Amino acid sequence: MLEAILYRGELKRGEIADLLNTGDRNARRVTSALLDHGVLESDSTRAPLRQAFPATLALDAGAVSREVGCVPS
């Protein structure tokens, strides 16, 4: 998902479930966690997603990965 946003510049929310090969509920959970941690940003709840990497994220990247299910805890 992050790679797709990096290459495209933004990603429509409706494409996320297919991109992650998962259901809509899980796609929303992952998206919400990434938005909450400041990894992604969007102008509204329906607008496309963009990457936003604040400096503080670099210090806590492992915690974010565990919360969104990218690595085992």
Q: Is the pTM of this model over 0.85?
A: no
| pLDDT by 10s per residue, the chain, length 73 | 888 998 999 999 999 999 999 999 999 999 999 999 888 999 999 999 999 976 666 656 566 566 666 655 4
pLDDT at 46: 93
- In the chain, the amino acid numbered 11 is L
Multiple choice CATH, 2-67, 1.10.260, 1.10.10, 1.20.120, 1.10.3470: 1.10.10
Distance CA 73, CA 63 (A): 9
pLDDT at 73: 47
pLDDT at 40: 94
Spans of all domains in the chain = 2-67
Q: Show Cβ contacts of residue 64 under 8 Å, excluding neighbours closer than 6 positions.
A: 33, 34, 37, 39, 57
